[in-house]
Amino acid sequence: MNEEELNDDAEELFEKINIVCAAGQEPLRIDKFLMNRIESATRNKIQQAIEAERVLVNEHPIKSNYKVKPGDTIIIYDTKLPESANIIPENIPFKIVYEDDDILVIDKEAGMVVHPGSGNPNGTLVNAVAWYLKQQNPNINEADLARFGLVHRIDKNTSGLLVMAKTPKAMTHLAKQFFDHTVHRRYVALVWGDVVNSEGTIHSHVGRHQRFRKLFTTYPEGEYGKDAITHYKILEKFNYVTLIECRLETGRTHQIRVHMQSIGHPLFNDDLYGGDKIVKGTVFSKYKQFVENCFAICSRHALHAQQLGFVHPTTKKQMYFESELPEDMKALIEKWRKYSHH
């Protein structure tokens, strides 16, 4: 298992638990009721979830002393992040695009892991954010930071936009938007091959590969994995490679990488999904040398999270952010553009 696999185990950081109270349900405080129903839940954890508005009864937030009654529909948004009390704040620079009391929008560099995992307890974006917030508020509880901040991830070698929450309520609000697939996410990718259709939708389940646990794969019949939908559109063609934009309707681990590979167009220089060798074009020495030079220019899979849009957790206004392509991808695209026109 490599560090990327550990850190991108699931882009969905929340799961939704639905409970409907039976007809004969006696009035009982909701925190007590949930303690009996949810494995490994402590009263403290449940009360924290209620306070953060991660527990809804009949679609409304409630207080811990609410008494459940027959027919109540309870929804719990449960975080799947590990309880990591030992986030070490580290002074690592990162680029902030926007910040207020509730959220932090970050433009992540390629090569930076988002969240600590057993393979790498430090050097991640979460460690960097912990340091940053600790400078603002020296009394901040670092254990809280680890759990409250993260509502989605992008792969270690993907660059681009990421939103983090600064309060439990902001986290809940954003997590619900990701869960309900209402967040606007647009990526730019360079893929192998001459993509034929000017636009299209890839719809198949994505899940862990049955044999190679490091990889994810598509399950067109939906027998494994989770439902995944990617909409793509061609931006520019360079004969052997194509520049596309992808809009995510769902956010599964490695979704764009796996989906594009499944239709025969792996991401350029994607070492996990076969894009790090010549996929299209001949292997005569000049072309081979050209492609190898391209690999050297962009030494990672060519994928950038360019746009991010969501509703602000407090003001309820629509927010929209855009990130410029990083230098390595700009140089790579320019090189292919020249090559395809000569």
Q: Give catalytic residue positions.
A: 155
**Which of 302, 300, 303, 289 has the alpha carbon at shortest distance from 339?**
289
What stretch of H or E contains 169?
helix 168-179
Q: How far apart are CA 203 and CA 181, in angstroms?
A: 15
Q: How far apart are CA 130 and CA 120, in angstroms?
A: 16
Coil/strand/helix, residue 260: helix
In sequence order, the 6+-apart residues with CB closer than 8 A to the CB of 24 are: 70
Q: Which two tokens stand for residue 163?
A: 């939103």
Q: Determine how β-strand 229-237 pairs with β-strand 184-192.
A: unpaired
DSSP assigned state of 70: T
114 in Cβ contact with 108 (< 8 Å): yes
Strand-pair partners of 19? 74
Q: How far apart are CA 277 and CA 282, in angstroms?
A: 12
Q: Write phi, then psi, for 281 (nearest 5 degrees).
A: 100, 165
Q: How far apart are CA 181 and CA 29, in angstroms?
A: 32
188 in Cβ contact with 328 (< 8 Å): no
225 in Cβ contact with 252 (< 8 Å): yes
Q: Please give the radius of gyration of the chain, using alpha carbons only, rounded to the nearest integer.
A: 22
